[in-house]
Amino acid sequence: MKVAFYSPLPPAKSGIADYSAALLEELRKLLDVVVISDPDTPVPPHDLALYQIGNNEHHLHAYQSALEQPGVVVLHEANLHHLICDLTIRRNDWDAYVAEAEYNGGPAARAHAEQVRAQKVGPDYEGVPMLRRLLERSKAAIVHSRFVERQLRNSGFQKPVAVIPHGGWLPTISRRMDFRCRLGLSEDALLVGIFGFLKPYKRIAESLRAFRRVVPLIPDAKMILVGEPHPELPLASLIRSLHLEAHVRLLGFTPVEDFMGYLDAVDLVLNLRYPTVGESSGTLMRALGLGKAVLVSNVGSFAELPDNIVLKVPVDASEEDFLFECLNLLLSRPSLMRQLGRNARRWVEQECSWARVARLYADFLRCVAEGQPWPALSHSPSTSPVAAPAPPDNSASASPGETAPTSVLVRALAELEEPNRDALVEPPPAVDESATHLQDYLKSWACDPDSRQYLQTHLTRLRRTLEIIPPGTAADRILEMGAYLQITPALRTKLGYGEVRGCYLGPAGQIDSKRVVSAEGEEFVCQIDLFNAEKDRFPYPDGHFATVLCCELIEHLEHDPMFLMSEVNRVLRPGGHLVLTTPNIASLRAIKAILMGYHPGFFPAYLKPAASGGIEARHAREYTPQEITMLFLDAGFEVTLLETGPFLDAPRPEEHWIRHLLERYLLSTQHRGDCIYAVGRKVGPVKERYPSWLYQ
């Protein structure tokens, strides 16, 4: 299916341009997409047109094209009045503006538009949404919230509507301390931020007044305002009048890289807005993806967000008091902010990843093109109820000495408390009889001193590797690369594969037959193909194996790891699995080593020649879990499992201070074990033969 995708793209100053760029990266994996970003772009034949419609001049071409060639419109808010003004008033076409106002709002709207022409009043932006003409021409619509969907239905739009959540960015590199250093702040300074175009409806004046009340209670609290100031909001003078010069810094417009850096630097984000026309917020999704605690206004699309990922501020007379209570409570209890942030990032990962958003887009566009119904109820944008909740009842009874907003907050945050993290000694794990049995089975095959010594160091890794390998059937084939025959017999006896093959470094074309006997007398014979996994075509036909194991091998490759990944992709059948394990260069052990002045590699040593003169391959490059994820994706695999763990179960109390250090600086403590365990499923051909993060 070929789709014409109309949208501005970066560097256009439009949040929708950034949205489209992120969406296209995933949508192109599912559909044949051609992007039309300006009037000079030729439009090839296509099956369906998709229009990203925003409320500013960057979307004029998409809007006019949508009227000329009906397709699916993506409405990021339920109002296009500013866009129509750009199309008419800014071109001095007052007749067109007045006519469009009448077409959308009738005689009353026309009369008001005539007053606008006479410069007696301003445009009725909120009262006349200017959607009618576009909706009449469109085949279907995509929106980000039930709120906007209701607006369309209330206007009489009866064609298909898909509620698809706004995609969320999930950065993996922390720039928190880099930008705190720019600001002259320590790692534990409490920092609040407001981001984006600094317009009055973002409740900035109300936020500053509430923050002024917090400063006497938390004197070290700071605030940054990052974005272009609006001419109708004199922020510099407002900050001076509130005597906040020492606590609030106005940074103005910043490039997107710096914008994201400052967003990463803050502890708490204020993303308020009222009035609203149902717009979503790319800045909000970036903040949630960064794992930030966020306050939003309890109105429009923001009211639909799950209650355990944001705090919702009423838009009534209690707004400033509620804001003050929120700021005071969260800034005085950072653990609550961190828990909100963790909940938020988890929600973005599960509900709003760009891959999921793109799949929903592709499914809906196919339904529209084929005239099929859209199963709307199964594509809810969040886990919260469909209907927007009512604003909090701030008149609820409170305990003596406690304000009503505080009472609401205590109830809302009761389940966000972190578990006790003071204990340094974890309780011993429960005995797993199946794991014990598996370990005993592996030990039975270690019949010589070298095998027993290797097994003693790697027993936990070998057992866990067997646990994550997808089981096979008598008709399935499995290949173990770098086969030492420690776990190889279990691939048949424990996992059920009908054919078990091994391979090892050696002269291409040679096949060795290896025979081992367990302590119980069980015999196992395996054919071992010799070749160089970085240079030689693997001696197997396309799609031959159900599963390939690449365990403690990739770190030894000196020249071309993607050659191995490409060949693994080729010899795996569609939907087949790659199981990969490798040392973790980002482990607690590695961080400790480099801080103490040692090499962080798990095995950085050079190897002495053996008595025979041969030299084993040393570690050439060790990987981080994030790099293994990128390696899988570039090689045409989706990651179905990614975890880290030890090579051998043993207490490591000497590493608790490293974990504490990461937590203090709000750096991730996830995936810090010594060994990376990853499973990927083949979903297509190799996407990037020489990815830039790995090759130069």
Cβ pair 562, 690 in contact under 8 A: yes
| Whole-number pLDDT of residue 418 | 47
| Whole-number pLDDT of residue 83 | 96
Cβ pair 290, 345 in contact under 8 A: yes
pLDDT of residue 519 exceeding 80: yes
pLDDT of residue 415 exceeding 70: no
Ordered DSSP codes for 629-689: HHHHHHTTEEEEEEEEE-SS----GGGHHHHHHHHHTT---SS-SSEEEEEEEE-SS-S-S
Cβ pair 441, 466 in contact under 8 A: no
Share of the chain above pLDDT 70, in %: 91
* Cis amide prior to 691 (ω within 30 degrees): no
pLDDT of residue 156 exceeding 80: yes
Secondary structure (3-state) at 460: helix
Give 407's pLDDT tier (boundaries 50, 70, 90): low
pLDDT in tens, 452-490: 888 788 888 999 999 999 999 999 999 999 998 889 999
pLDDT in tens, 363-382: 999 999 999 998 764 444 44
Report the CATH architecture of 2-80+131-163.
Answer: 3-Layer(aba) Sandwich (3.40)
Task: Kindly give, in sequence order, each residue whose CB lies less than 8 Å from that of residue 453, ignoring residues fewer than 6 positions away.
Answer: none
Mean pLDDT of 30-50: 94
CA atoms within 13 A on the CB side of 426: 8
| Whole-number pLDDT of residue 417 | 53
- CATH number for region 433-584+610-649+673-682: 3.40.50.150
Q: What is the rounded distance in angstroms from the CA atom of residue 14 to the CA atom of residue 481?
A: 49
* Cis amide prior to 44 (ω within 30 degrees): no
Q: What is the rounded distance in angstroms from the CA atom of residue 451 to the CA atom of residue 445?
A: 8
Spans of all domains in the chain: 2-80+131-163, 176-347, 433-584+610-649+673-682
pLDDT in tens, 194-233: 999 999 999 999 999 999 999 999 999 999 999 999 998 9
Q: How far is CA 441 from the centre of its chain?
A: 40
Compare 457 and 33 and report the one with higher pLDDT. Answer: 33
| Whole-number pLDDT of residue 12 | 87
CATH of 176-347, one of 3.40.50.150, 3.40.50.720, 3.40.50.2000, 3.40.718.10: 3.40.50.2000
Within this chain, domains 2-80+131-163 and 176-347 share the same CATH topology: yes
pLDDT in tens, 308-346: 999 999 999 999 999 999 999 999 999 899 999 999 999
pLDDT of residue 576 exceeding 80: yes
| pTM score | 0.79
Q: What are the tokens at 382?
A: 């969040």
Place of tokens 């929106």: 143
| Whole-number pLDDT of residue 607 | 86
| Whole-number pLDDT of residue 686 | 96
| Whole-number pLDDT of residue 408 | 53
| Whole-number pLDDT of residue 246 | 96
Q: What is the rounded distance in angstroms from the CA atom of residue 26 to the CA atom of residue 24?
A: 5
Mean pLDDT of 664-688: 94
Mean pLDDT of 541-570: 97
Secondary structure (3-state) at 273: coil
pLDDT in tens, 228-268: 999 989 999 999 999 999 999 999 999 889 999 999 999 99
To the nearest 10 degrees (0 to 180), the angle between helices 256-265 and 176-183 is 90
Cβ pair 67, 80 in contact under 8 A: no
pLDDT of residue 696 exceeding 70: yes
Give 53's pLDDT tier (boundaries 50, 70, 90): very high
| Whole-number pLDDT of residue 653 | 83
pLDDT in tens, 84-139: 999 999 999 999 999 999 999 999 999 999 999 999 999 999 899 999 999 999 99
CA distances (Å), origin 357, targets 15, 360, 361, 379: 17, 5, 6, 10
- CA-based nearest residue to 555, from 534, 527, 574, 536: 534
Cβ pair 640, 679 in contact under 8 A: yes
- CA-based nearest residue to 505, from 483, 527, 477: 483
pLDDT in tens, 271-309: 999 999 889 999 999 999 999 999 999 999 999 999 999
Q: What is the mean pLDDT of the chain?
A: 90
| Whole-number pLDDT of residue 189 | 94
Q: What is the rounded distance in angstroms from the CA atom of residue 294 to the CA atom of residue 404?
A: 21
